[in-house]
């Protein structure tokens, strides 16, 4: 199985604080992996480095066969990202936002891509509405539409279902599962929702104080920690228990 993303001894220091400590990750093509950890564990710092928004202090990142630290642009065309903590321009309509991002990613037929995303994410009736007039759930769907407009081979998601109603959450999870299955995409998601992780992810990476302290499939982790839910496993590890 080919490796889509790999880090080698990745380190990020902010002054005297080590936010990410010699992290070694490997994501196989077509996998959905969860990046878990408590607040300050280094999830967002790791994601930022994997997106090129943050320069690592040391270590290597390889994405889709490219040396990402040296030249991130070839890989950035083939990946994308969504987070509730990064907004799209609120004054622009759904159509305008998707058009701008379709063009930024150099799509051949932006108009068709926008319409496809609008239909996929059930935004047809909202297409000419400004983002500031949309509900939180609708904005999340637009953000995901933007994240998928270039049909990324690698999708990084930061809490993709945070503060959404159960119906939207369920719909997004199903969509992501289908997208991964149909397109062989690789997905890395940071989440605090253990139920989501159990439903979606075949692999779990657990960070604590910037270090990868546990890795495995959800059933393996449940068995190793003799727990019934991932949440209990997460609490064990976060509290510095068995590792």
Partner 1 sequence: MKSGSIYRIHALLLRYLYVLRSSWPRIIEISYWPTMQLIIWGFVSLHFGAAQPEITASGILISVVLVWDSLFRSHVSYTLSFLEEMWSRNLGNLFVAPLRPWELMLALATISMIRTLIGMIPAALLAIPFFGVSVFDMGFPLLAFFFNLVFTGWAISQVVTGILLRYGLGAESLTWVIPFMIAPVSCIYYPLSTLPVWLQEIAKLVPTSYVFEGMRALLLEGEWRADLLQKAFMLNCIYFILGMLVFLLAFRSARTHGLLLQAGE
Single residue of 2, 55, 125, 228 touching partner 1 by CB under 8 A = 55
The set of residues, in sequence order, having a beta carbon less than 8 Å from that of 27 and lying 6+ positions away, is: 3, 4, 5, 6, 33, 154, 186, 188
Q: Please tell me whether residue 51 binds partner 1 under the rule CB under 8 A.
A: yes
Q: Whole-number minimum distance, CB 74 to partner 1, in Å? A: 8
- 126 secondary structure, DSSP code: G
Single residue of 9, 103, 124, 220 touching partner 1 by CB under 8 A = 103
Q: Please tell me whether residue 14 binds partner 1 under the rule CB under 8 A.
A: yes
Q: Please tell me whether residue 7 binds partner 1 under the rule CB under 8 A.
A: no
Single residue of 23, 64, 76, 144 touching partner 1 by CB under 8 A = 76
Q: Which residue lies nearer to partner 1 by CB, 92 or 222?
A: 92
Part in contact with partner 1 (CB under 8 A); list of ranges 33-41, 43-51, 112-120, 174-182: 43-51
Part in contact with partner 1 (CB under 8 A); list of ranges 93-101, 117-125, 183-191, 202-210: 93-101
Q: Whole-number minimum distance, CB 44 to partner 1, in Å? A: 7
Q: Please tell me whether residue 130 binds partner 1 under the rule CB under 8 A.
A: yes
CB 218 within 8 A of CB 204: yes
Q: In 3-state terms, what secondary structure has residue 70?
A: coil
Single residue of 16, 70, 91, 128 touching partner 1 by CB under 8 A = 91
Single residue of 18, 21, 66, 92 touching partner 1 by CB under 8 A = 92
Alpha helices in the chain (DSSP H): 43-51, 73-76, 94-104, 110-120, 136-148, 166-183, 194-200, 218-225, 230-238
Single residue of 1, 70, 106, 167 touching partner 1 by CB under 8 A = 106
First to last CA, the chain: 28
The neighbour count for residue 128, using CB atoms within 10 Å, is: 9
Q: Whole-number minimum distance, CB 183 to partner 1, in Å? A: 16
Cα dihedral 139, 141, 147, 148 sign:
negative
Q: Please tell me whether residue 86 binds partner 1 under the rule CB under 8 A.
A: yes
Q: In 3-state terms, what secondary structure has residue 185?
A: coil
Residue 35 main-chain phi, psi, to 5 deg: -110, 110
Q: Please tell me whether residue 45 binds partner 1 under the rule CB under 8 A.
A: yes
The DSSP secondary structure of 34-67, one letter per residue, reads EEE--TTSSHHHHHHHHHTSS--SEEEEEETTEE
- 153 secondary structure, DSSP code: S
What residues line the site for partner 1 (CB under 8 A)?
Answer: 14, 44-45, 48, 51-55, 73, 76-77, 79-81, 83, 85-93, 96, 99-108, 130, 146
């Amino acid at each position: 199985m080919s490796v889509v993303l790999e880090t080698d001894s990745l380190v990020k220091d902010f002054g005297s604080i080590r936010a990410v400590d010699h992290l070694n990750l490997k994501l196989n093509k077509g996998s959905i992996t969860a990046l878990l950890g408590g607040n300050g564990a280094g999830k967002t710092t790791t994601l930022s480095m994997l997106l090129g928004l943050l320069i690592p202090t040391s270590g290597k990142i390889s994405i889709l066969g490219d040396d990402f630290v040296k030249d991130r642009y070839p890989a950035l065309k083939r990946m994308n990202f969504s987070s509730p903590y990064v907004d799209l321009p609120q004054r622009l309509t759904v159509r305008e936002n998707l058009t701008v991002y379709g063009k930024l990613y150099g799509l051949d037929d932006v108009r068709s891509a926008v319409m496809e995303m609008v239909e996929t994410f059930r935004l047809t009736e909202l297409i000419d509405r400004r983002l500031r007039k949309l509900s939180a759930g609708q904005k999340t769907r637009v953000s995901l539409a933007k994240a998928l407009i270039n049909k990324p081979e690698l999708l990084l998601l930061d809490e993709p279902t945070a503060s959404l109603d159960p119906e939207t959450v369920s719909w997004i999870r199903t969509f992501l599962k289908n997208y991964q299955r149909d397109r062989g995409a690789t997905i890395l998601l940071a989440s605090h929702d253990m139920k989501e992780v159990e439903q979606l992810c075949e692999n779990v990476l657990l960070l604590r104080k910037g270090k990868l302290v546990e890795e495995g499939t959800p059933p393996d982790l449940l068995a190793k920690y003799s727990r019934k839910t991932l949440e209990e496993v997460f609490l064990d590890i976060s509290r510095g228990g068995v590792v």
